[in-house]
Amino acid sequence: MEAEIRPASVSDWEAMRTIYLDGISTGQATFETLAPDWNRWDASHLAFGRLVAMLGETLVGWAALSPVSTRLPYAGVAEVSVYVIANHRGQGIGRQLLERLIVESEKNGIWMLQASVFPENTASTSLHKLCGFREVGVRERIGKLLDEWRDTVLLERRSKRVGWD
């Protein structure tokens, strides 16, 4: 299924937030238990690499980049987030979003992308590996979700175009 991938705007936030809440409800997508308001979300993500997937007039997924650190040596390292609404998962939309996010990241000087995925979320791990990420390792008991310690799989993708000077 081919979606239109375009930059996200503030007017997309409510639909994006709904999709985020859908991901949160699975217990397999994030440590977050609530979706933030626009200002908090906006402040925690890079100004570029904010994408939405559209099927006609319906927003069905989004992807965005967050900085991993404010320290200068890590200016080219970002964490990826990809969310697709439940009834459109498994249709290639996440892959379209992630592939476009990779292109946008490289246009903006990002040399390393990382993703942190719950081990049980095998669809997300597979998607990232399909898009050139490699598994770095498992971070055991890295955080609690609803009072339960959870592991995450750390995946990374090194650009073949940026950061090789």
Q: What is the pLDDT of residues 15-49, one digit of tens each?
A: 999 999 999 999 889 989 899 999 999 999 999 99
Per-residue pLDDT of 76-134, as tens digits, reads: 999 999 999 999 999 999 999 999 999 999 999 999 999 999 999 999 999 999 999 99
Q: Tokens standing for 103?
A: 């292109």
Output the pLDDT for position 1. 77
What is the rounded distance in angstroms from the CA atom of residue 91 to the CA atom of residue 39? 31
Cα separation, 89 vs 61, whole angstroms: 9
Tell me what pLDDT residue 20 has.
Answer: 96
Q: pTM for this one?
A: 0.94
Neighbouring CB atoms inside 10 A of 152's CB total 19
